[in-house]
Amino acid sequence: MATGSGAAAAAADAEEKESGSRMITLTSNEGKAFVVTEASARQSATIRSMVDDGGCVDKGFPLPNVDSKTLARVIQYCDEHGNKEAHTVDERAALAKFDKDFIAELDADKAFLYDVTMAANYLHIQGLFALTTQCIADTIKGKTPEEIRTAFGIEYDLTAQDEEEIKEEDTHA
């Protein structure tokens, strides 16, 4: 009995080790293949659930919504967060610094920042999505409603009465 459970544990351990070192192929919408570690791919909840459901790990995952440039950048994030430990204070500080530099670079190119945000949303990479949405929020924080409408191409659909009611809400309520 004892040997049996010991063997089972060893088997599970071996399987875990194996799954930890398994490689997964992600394919961009241009057909370019990116090979990543499973730990890195598991940063994406979308891929994680497909892998856990015993999906097509060997065949790889086609990502029709993500282009190569964006995918490469997303993988850069996943590699850092998936393959490195974050147990000690130093390790966590290193990751925080990585995030800071990563987002500073993205912030310089808003169109790309948007692409990465959409990819993070599609792939459900929580940490990356929080990072990029927070960055966009910082960009629009001090803007006026008019500037926001221009920035996001939003049509102005409030009547004078609506405006009045919103103002009213803010002073009383």
Partner 1 sequence: MAAKRCADNLVSTRPRKVMRIVINSWSRFMPPYIPDDVMFNILSWLPSKSLVRFKSVCKAWHAMISSPCFIDAHLECSKRNPSILMVPGAYEKQEDGENIAFMMGLYKYHGGKTMELVHMQNFSLGIGVWTRPVHCNGLLLIPTMNLEMMICNPSTRQIVFLPKVSGNICTGTRAGFGFDPHSNKYKVARSFYQRDSETQELVCKFEVLTLGTNAWRQTEDPPYPIDALTPVHVKGAIYWIVCSSLCPDPPNAFL
* Residue 142 CB, nearest approach to partner 1 (Å): 7
Radius of gyration of the chain (CA): 22
**CB-nearer residue toward partner 1: 83 or 126:** 126
Cβ atoms of 25 and 16 within 8 Å: the answer is no
**CB-nearer residue toward partner 1: 54 or 64:** 64
> First and final CA of the chain: distance in angstroms?
69
**CB-nearer residue toward partner 1: 85 or 169:** 169
* Residue 62 CB, nearest approach to partner 1 (Å): 21
- Binding site residues, partner 1, CB under 8 A: 110-111, 114, 117-118, 121, 129-130, 133-134, 136-145, 148-158, 162-163, 166, 169-170, 172-173
The CA distance from 38 to 21, in Å, is 7
The CA distance from 22 to 76, in Å, is 18
> Count of CB atoms within 10 A of residue 32's CB?
13
Q: What is the token pair recorded at 166?
A: 């919103």
* Residue 139 CB, nearest approach to partner 1 (Å): 8
* Residue 8 CB, nearest approach to partner 1 (Å): 41
54 Cβ neighbours under 8 A, 6+ residues apart:
none
* Residue 35 CB, nearest approach to partner 1 (Å): 29
**CB-nearer residue toward partner 1: 38 or 115:** 115
**CB-nearer residue toward partner 1: 67 or 79:** 67
The CA distance from 128 to 40, in Å, is 13
